[in-house]
Amino acid sequence: MLQFLVRRLIVAILVAATVMTLAFILTRLSGDLAISIAGPNATQADVEAVRKAYGLDRPLTVQFFDWVGRAATGDLGESYFFKTKVSTLIGERMPITITLGLTGLVIALLVSLPLGILAAVRENTALDRVVQMVALVGQAMPSFWLGLILMITLGLQLGWLPISGTGSWQHFVMPGIVLAFSAIPALTRLTRAGMIQAMGSDYIRTARAKGLSRASILLKHALRNAAIPVVAIAAVQLGFMLGGSIVIEQVFALHGVGFLAWESIGKNDFPVVQSVVLVLAVIYVALTMLADLMNAVLDPRLRGP
């Protein structure tokens, strides 16, 4: 287990290094940063001044290692546009994005676990096929489109939920549903497959031979084992959701990290862009490690003899 964690940590560091390199290269590819920062009316002298002030006149490798070195100590640099520390900016916006991601995950689990169990218990019936169809359709639906549909129906026509902003928990429901939709198909399919496999296993036959109640057989004995792969994928899905929030936060005007990234791309505020990418990647890696730990909690075999 310990060896496993160490291996995971090494992978995490490699992922972070790769992401940093990519983010760095991509932001530089978007053109001469000094020109875009200086603005359209700047003279050649202004541009040169900007270039010097931001250290853009140094060789790229120096700039890169400077950034990496600072990032490793938690210093993500300063935003060109907001003129504040990037870490402060991200720190302020992160709670909104995390709330959104967790809301999405909780909604996704609340929908996919029961659906998956139901489909498994009624395997090969009409109900099972309906569930699989819904999962398929859900997967094909673009999230901004679903977001707009929800805003029009639940928000404008029915007036049940606010359509933009972050004032109350109700503000997170609609974007949460939209985010959840991207995870529901995979989670439902996985729950269904896991439950079908578990229900056909010898230990479930034993549970039935013990005369246990149906609830205990399904939820205690079968789901516990079926949940192991679901937990792993749920963590990965949460990572995707945090990334996917770039679109959703736009649609619902939630000023989270995704919104920040969007704004900063438009303004060529590359310290912010590359830092958001880095932070999301680190969170993603942390989530997969968390999934491994939770798997070890759920599956005693992973804890060793």
Decide whether 266 or 305 has the Cβ nearer to other proteins: 305
Options 83, 158, 266, 301; binder of other proteins; rule CB under 8 A: 301
Length, in residues, of the chain: 305
Q: Are 282 and 257 in contact (CB under 8 A)?
A: no
Q: Cα–Cα distances in Å, from 132 out to 123, 145, 147, 229, 279?
A: 11, 21, 22, 18, 35
Decide whether 143 or 225 has the Cβ nearer to other proteins: 225
The reply on whether position 207 binds other proteins by CB under 8 A is: yes
Least distance from other proteins to the Cβ atom of residue 213, Å: 7
Count of residues binding other proteins (CB under 8 A)? 23
Options 12, 42, 98, 212; binder of other proteins; rule CB under 8 A: 212
Q: Report how far residue 116's alpha carbon sits from residue 196's, in angstroms, rounded to the nearest whole number.
A: 9
Decide whether 59 or 300 has the Cβ nearer to other proteins: 300
Among residues 208, 280, 192, 290, the alpha carbon closest in space to that of 244 is found at: 280
| 61 HSE (CA, 13 A, CB side) | 0
The reply on whether position 210 binds other proteins by CB under 8 A is: yes
The reply on whether position 205 binds other proteins by CB under 8 A is: yes
The reply on whether position 126 binds other proteins by CB under 8 A is: no
The reply on whether position 266 binds other proteins by CB under 8 A is: no
Decide whether 4 or 65 has the Cβ nearer to other proteins: 4
The reply on whether position 200 binds other proteins by CB under 8 A is: yes
Stretch that binds other proteins, among 43-51, 135-143, 194-202, 261-269 (CB under 8 A): 194-202
SS3 content of the chain, % helix, strand, coil (to 5): 80, 0, 20
Q: Report how far residue 29's alpha carbon sits from residue 21's, in angstroms, rounded to the nearest whole number.
A: 12
144, containing H or E segment: helix 143-150
Q: Report how far residue 248's alpha carbon sits from residue 213's, in angstroms, rounded to the nearest whole number.
A: 43
Options 46, 48, 92, 299; binder of other proteins; rule CB under 8 A: 299
Under the rule (CB under 8 A), what is the footprint of other proteins? Answer: 200-203, 205-214, 216, 221, 224-225, 298-301, 305
